[in-house]
């Protein structure tokens, strides 16, 4: 099977124009020869001088065009085969030109303004065929990222930073807002129900102990006779009253639940607005986090979590990949609906590209110069001649025609000047 030649059309065009230019040169030589062969008169003299001038002009331009790419007729004439001999300098000059005059800051900024980077990013993120492999690649990076946290320096840094962050001035605001979210979702009532249930179970489990404790208390306050006569009755009524009150606290509503809700909201508000209460919370959290037992427990939890994440990240359909893919899709939806997010992406892309542009210009110029400098003589000659050779053949054609016209004009002027 014949290999496809991407430059086949250029080769055919160059061949046609070269044949035409060479044919025109041969035609001028034939005209000059015919002028010498025929009997000299006004017209044969005009034909001879015009053809001779056209032939000389064509040969001169052929020499100039050929000297750009190779030695004319294979002769090592000085200052010929200019492009192959100067390919390294040519590559460096071309690289500098492209880097400094094509990839300018103004042109790049104009291009970025028209590019619609957020739109391209949105299409990428909303395309499962593209975002899926990206999510898998990001998930594959998780083990290495997590391993860096295990580094001794990172561990010590986190141990110092975490208490400062949580124990800072903003700790109260952060905790308050988190608690607000729980309260609005009714989670605090679930906690309250859990405490009530736990209290009921405790009363049932320790009923005999509590009964004896109440009887002893009645005996201490009222004497042995009162304790003997009424101790058991008082204990039974107290426990019965407590149980009845706990049973009255329904999951839907009760005075105690409403009071608890009001108390929680008031305390959360104080955390957010009262600097003293926020400082107390921050100090307490800082004390807990800096305790050796808590830190050991936290790092044990982290080790287990890290192991689970690493194992999940290895699975092509793991939860890590699904979560990252969903996050990428969500980001794509945000870019499609939020004009401010699109503006931020545009600004970020422009800032990044323009910041690396000077370095990219240097590397681009170096790359172009290196590539062209490594081309062999045949390659650089072939590539350049195929792309500019057609226009260079027009130089030969124009030189031949201009020489022919000038030869005819000079001959006519000579005849006119020679007349009396």
Angstrom distance (rounded) from CA 303 to CA 299: 6
Task: Give the confidence band of 20 by pLDDT, cuts at 50, 70, 90.
Answer: very high
Q: What length is written for the chain?
A: 420
pTM of the model as a whole:
0.43
- Burial of 99 per CB tally in 10 Å (0-12, 13-18, 19+): buried
Residue 26 has a pLDDT of 92
Give which of 78, 14, 19 is closest to 382, Cα–Cα.
14
Higher-pLDDT residue of 38 and 194 is: 38
The predicted model gives 372-400 an average pLDDT of 80
**How does pLDDT run across 190-212, given as a tens digit for each residue?**
665 666 666 666 666 666 776 66
Identify the three-state secondary structure at position 84. helix
Residue 1 has a pLDDT of 46
Tally the C-alpha atoms within 13 A of residue 288's C-alpha that lie toward its C-beta. Answer: 10
Angle between helix 105-115 and 339-374 (nearest 10):
130
Residue 326 has a pLDDT of 81
Please compute Rg for the chain using Cα positions. 47
Hey, where are the domains in the chain?
A: 8-85+376-418, 140-335
Residue 409 has a pLDDT of 92
Start-to-end Cα distance in the chain: 75
Average pLDDT of the residues of the chain: 75
**How does pLDDT run across 294-309, given as a tens digit for each residue?**
667 666 766 777 777 7
The predicted model gives 14-39 an average pLDDT of 89
Range scoring the smallest mean pLDDT among 130-134, 178-182, 257-261:
178-182
Query: How many C-beta atoms surround the C-beta of residue 358 within 10 A?
Result: 11
Higher-pLDDT residue of 415 and 208 is: 415
Name the residue with tokens 């103004």: 106
Tally the C-alpha atoms within 13 A of residue 131's C-alpha that lie toward its C-beta. Answer: 22
Angstrom distance (rounded) from CA 29 to CA 40: 17
User: Are the C-beta atoms of residues 250 and 137 closer than 8 Å to each other?
Assistant: no
**How does pLDDT run across 209-261, given as a tens digit for each residue?**
766 666 666 666 666 555 555 556 666 666 666 666 666 665 555 666 667 66
Angstrom distance (rounded) from CA 321 to CA 132: 8
Give which of 220, 216, 214, 219 is closest to 234, Cα–Cα.
214
Q: Residue 326 phi/psi, 5° resolution?
A: -65, -40
Higher-pLDDT residue of 339 and 261 is: 339
Concatenate the DSSP letters of all residues of 28-77 into one string. HHHHHHHHHHSPPSHHHHHHHHHHHHHHHHHHHHHHHHHHHHS-GGG---
The predicted model gives 157-164 an average pLDDT of 60
pLDDT > 70 fraction of the chain, expressed in percent and rounded: 63
């Amino acid at each position: 099977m014949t290999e496809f030649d991407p430059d086949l059309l250029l080769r055919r065009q160059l061949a046609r124009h070269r044949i035409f230019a060479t044919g025109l040169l041969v035609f001028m030589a034939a005209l000059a020869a015919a002028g010498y062969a025929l009997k000299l008169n006004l017209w044969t003299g005009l034909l001879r001088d015009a053809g001779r001038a056209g032939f000389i002009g064509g040969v001169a331009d052929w020499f100039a065009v050929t000297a750009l790419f190779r030695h004319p007729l294979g002769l090592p004439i000085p200052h010929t085969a200019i492009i192959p001999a100067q390919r390294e300098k040519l590559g460096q000059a071309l690289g500098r030109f492209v880097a400094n005059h094509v990839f300018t800051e103004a042109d790049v900024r104009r291009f970025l303004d028209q590019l619609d980077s957020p739109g391209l990013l949105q299409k990428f993120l909303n395309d499962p065929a593209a975002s899926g492999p990206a999510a898998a690649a990001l998930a594959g990076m998780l083990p290495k990222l997590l391993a860096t946290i295990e580094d001794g320096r990172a561990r010590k840094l986190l141990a110092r930073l975490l208490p400062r962050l949580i124990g800072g001035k903003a700790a109260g605001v952060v905790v308050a807002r988190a608690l607000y979210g729980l309260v609005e979702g009714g989670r605090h009532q679930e906690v309250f129900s859990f405490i009530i249930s736990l209290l009921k179970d405790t009363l049932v489990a320790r009923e005999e102990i509590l009964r004896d404790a109440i009887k002893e208390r009645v005996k201490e306050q009222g004497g042995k006779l009162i304790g003997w006569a009424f101790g058991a009755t008082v204990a039974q009524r107290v426990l019965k009253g407590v149980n009845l009150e706990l049973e009255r606290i329904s999951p839907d509503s009760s005075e105690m639940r409403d009071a608890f809700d009001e108390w929680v909201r008031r305390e959360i508000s104080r955390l957010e607005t009262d600097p003293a209460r926020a400082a107390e919370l921050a100090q307490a959290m800082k004390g807990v986090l800096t305790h050796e037992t808590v830190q050991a427990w936290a790092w044990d939890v982290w080790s287990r979590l890290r192991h689970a994440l690493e194992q999940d990240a290895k699975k092509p359909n793991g939860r890590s990949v699904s979560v990252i893919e969903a996050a990428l899709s969500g980001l794509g939806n945000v870019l499609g609906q939020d004009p401010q997010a699109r503006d931020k992406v545009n600004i970020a892309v422009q800032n990044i590209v323009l910041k690396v542009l000077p370095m990219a210009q240097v590397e681009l110029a170096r790359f172009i110069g290196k590539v062209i400098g490594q081309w062999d003589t045949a390659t650089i000659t072939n590539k350049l001649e195929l792309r500019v050779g057609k226009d260079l053949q027009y130089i030969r054609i124009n030189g031949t025609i201009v020489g022919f016209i000038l030869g005819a004009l000079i001959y006519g002027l000579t005849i006119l000047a020679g007349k009396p």
